[in-house]
């Protein structure tokens, strides 16, 4: 069985065995260097990735578990907190407890951002940059607890013999309204005190699905300009409607892992090879608009989680060693950074690396192969990972994420509020037992 790394030796051996070409740097001091994005100073190279807790109130405000999570992340010392998926339209919520920002609950979000900044300042002596992820869940919308998909197009990989009914395919006019709602979400995020907004375009939610809408007619399908229209116009709109110091970014899928014509960033000659041509064009366009930082990711957590979040144990046996998935993500990200050296880039999917994650990401960052390391599942298991890396000599093997997928299992259950069943067991083991029947 595969396990996350608790020592360097096994990693070095497997990196060699699977030809994964991941660097390893003993010196991780680069992680403790700052970077400026516009006027905003980011204290270090460690990022808490967006990690949804599905634990807001019915009206979409942060609730008790949400506040607990962000208090832990704020204490942890990361330079960036990428605040989880936050809906901008009710029908685009992924679950009835997904965060949802509106004029009516703006004060609750303001309080949440203030709490994060105050806690971090008190604990670490600096404030993280906090970016809100604005989302429309598209095919994964479930605002009232039952699936209510809104899709860009039907595709035979997902739908197989059962296409989703035509009236769930969103019209161009609806997509125009989604663009307006995303821009409005950016304005609300700025009012709430966030340092920036992410126009979410990943993991097959609506904006991300459009990237591969090769066979859709109209203004949002077919050509690359059309398929990227919703993202590009929302980003432009957010830049035009927010102050110049506000960061406008995107968490962007640069590779889906589905064959053409159903995947973005995938070779058009058949097969699943990564093709940088279209993602590179898109990154260059976003740079022209004024975007200076992007958070790159790959895959679909529902259909190919081994691409999106390489695991030790999951819903199916992965067709590749998890290190191969990590390598695709990190070396693919490095390739796009090479083509776009002036764009600051955050990588994803390093949790499987366990205690060697700091050494691997430092290897990339010191050679300018990306700028920030984004930790996802790790932050549920080990919210103070950044302080351990930066101040306490490295990651503790007894605190790392073991990539067991139990957080994802909870998330997939109706009403599930994910967290770490292993390392935060007093809080999350009872939830896991109740919803997933586990007895670990």
Ligand X SMILES: Cc1cc2nc3c(=O)[nH]c(=O)nc-3n(C[C@H](O)[C@H](O)[C@H](O)COP(=O)(O)O)c2cc1C
User: Which residue, 304 or 348, is less far from ligand X as judged by CB?
Assistant: 348
DSSP-assigned states of every residue in 157-199: HHHTT-PPPGGGBPPHHHHHHHHHHHHHHHHHHHHHT-SEEEE
Q: Cβ closer to ligand X: 203 or 236?
A: 203
CB of 352 to ligand X, least distance (A): 6
The pairs formed by 209-212 with CB atoms below 8 angstroms and a separation of 24 or more are 209/138, 209/139, 209/151, 209/152, 209/153, 210/152, 210/175, 211/253, 211/256, 211/264, 211/278, 212/155, 212/256, 212/258, 212/261, 212/262, 212/263, 212/264
- To ligand X, the closest distance from the beta carbon of 245 in angstroms equals 24
As measured in angstroms, the least distance from the Cβ of 173 to ligand X is 27
Residue carrying structure tokens 């292993």: 422
Residue nearer to ligand X on the CB measure, 227 or 309: 309
Least distance (Å) from ligand X to the CB of residue 385?
A: 10
Q: 312 vs 16, 73, 299, 390, 421, CA distance in Å?
A: 19, 24, 17, 26, 15
Residue with Cβ nearer ligand X (227 or 251): 251
Taking residue 411's Cβ as centre, other Cβ atoms within 10 Å add up to: 20
Minimum Å gap between C-beta 134 and ligand X is 11
Residue 43 or 133 having the CB closest to ligand X: 133
Give the helix ranges, DSSP H, for 309-424: 322-339, 357-366, 377-381, 385-391, 406-412
What is the nearest approach in angstroms of ligand X to the Cβ of residue 408? 5
Nearer to ligand X, 4 or 105 (CB): 4
Q: How far is the CB of 111 from ligand X (least distance, A)?
A: 20
For 176, other C-beta atoms within 10 Å of its C-beta total 15
Q: What is the DSSP string of 46-101?
A: EEE---------TTS---HHHHHHHHHHHHTT-SEEEEEEEESSGGG-SSTTS-B-
Q: Which two tokens stand for residue 122?
A: 């008190």
Q: How far is the CB of 222 from ligand X (least distance, A)?
A: 27
Give the nearer residue to ligand X in terms of CB position, either 242 or 346.
Answer: 346
| Nearest to ligand X of 263, 418 (CB atom) | 418
Q: Are 232 and 141 in contact (CB under 8 A)?
A: no
Determine the Cα angle at 189 with ends 185 and 191, to 5°: 115
CB-based burial of residue 437 (10 Å sphere; 0-12 exposed, 13-18 middle, 19+ buried)?
Answer: exposed
Q: Least Å distance between CB 390 and ligand X?
A: 18
First to last CA, the chain: 18
For ligand X, the nearest residue by Cβ is 376
| Residues 6+ positions from 27 with CB-CB distance below 8 Å | 362, 366
Tokens 């479930």 belong to which residue?
142
For ligand X, the closer of residues 221 and 322 by Cβ is 322
CB 28 within 8 A of CB 362: yes
Minimum CB distance to ligand X smaller for 143 or for 221 = 143
CB of 383 to ligand X, least distance (A): 13
The site for ligand X (CB under 6 A) is made up of 49-52, 84-85, 133, 202-203, 251, 297, 309, 348-352, 375-378, 407-408, 411, 418
Backbone angles phi, psi at 84, to 5 degrees: -50, 170
């Amino acid at each position: 069985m595969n396990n996350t790394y608790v020592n360097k030796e096994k990693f070095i051996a497997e990196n060699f065995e699977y030809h994964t070409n991941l660097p390893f740097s003993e010196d991780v001091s680069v992680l403790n260097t700052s970077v400026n994005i516009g006027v905003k100073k980011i204290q270090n190279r460690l990022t808490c990735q967006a990690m949804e807790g599905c634990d807001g109130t019915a009206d979409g405000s942060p609730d008790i578990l949400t506040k607990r999570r962000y208090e832990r992340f704020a204490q942890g010392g990361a330079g960036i907190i990428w605040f989880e998926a936050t809906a901008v339209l009710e029908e685009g919520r992924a679950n009835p407890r997904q965060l949802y920002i509106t004029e009516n609950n703006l004060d609750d979000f303001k309080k949440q951002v203030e709490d994060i900044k105050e806690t971090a300042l008190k604990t670490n002596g600096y404030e993280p940059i906090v970016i809100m992820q604005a989302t429309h869940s598209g095919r994964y919308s479930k605002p009232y607890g039952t699936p209510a998909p809104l899709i860009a197009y039907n595709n035979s990989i997902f739908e197989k013999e059962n296409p989703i009914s035509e009236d769930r395919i969103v019209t161009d006019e609806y997509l125009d309204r989604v663009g307006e709602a995303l821009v409005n979400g950016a304005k609300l995020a700025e009012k709430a005190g966030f340092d920036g907004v992410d126009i979410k375009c990943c993991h097959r939610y609506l904006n991300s699905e459009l990237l591969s809408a090769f066979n859709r007619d109209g203004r949002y399908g077919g050509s690359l300009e059309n398929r990227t229209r919703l993202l590009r116009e929302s980003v432009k709109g957010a830049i035009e409607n927010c102050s110049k110091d506000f960061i406008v970014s995107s968490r962007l899928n640069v590779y889906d892992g589905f064959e053409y014509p159903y995947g973005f960033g995938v070779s058009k000659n058949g097969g699943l090879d990564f093709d940088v041509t279209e993602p590179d064009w898109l990154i260059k366009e976003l740079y022209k608009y004024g975007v200076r930082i992007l958070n790159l990711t790959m895959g679909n957590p529902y259909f190919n989680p081994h691409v999106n979040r390489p695991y030790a144990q999951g819903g199916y046996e992965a067709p590749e060693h998890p290190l191969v998935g990590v390598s695709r993500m990190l070396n693919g990200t490095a390739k796009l950074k090479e083509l776009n050296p002036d764009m600051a880039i955050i990588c994803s999917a390093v949790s499987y690396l366990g205690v060697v994650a700091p050494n691997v990401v430092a290897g990339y960052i010191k050679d300018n192969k990306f700028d920030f390391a984004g930790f996802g599942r790790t932050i549920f298991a080990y919210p103070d990972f950044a302080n351990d890396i930066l101040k306490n000599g490295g990651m503790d093997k007894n605190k790392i994420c073991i990539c067991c997928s139990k957080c994802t299992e909870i998330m997939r259950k109706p009403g599930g509020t994910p967290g770490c069943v292993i390392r935060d067991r007093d809080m999350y083991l009872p939830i896991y037992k109740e919803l997933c029947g586990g007895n670990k």
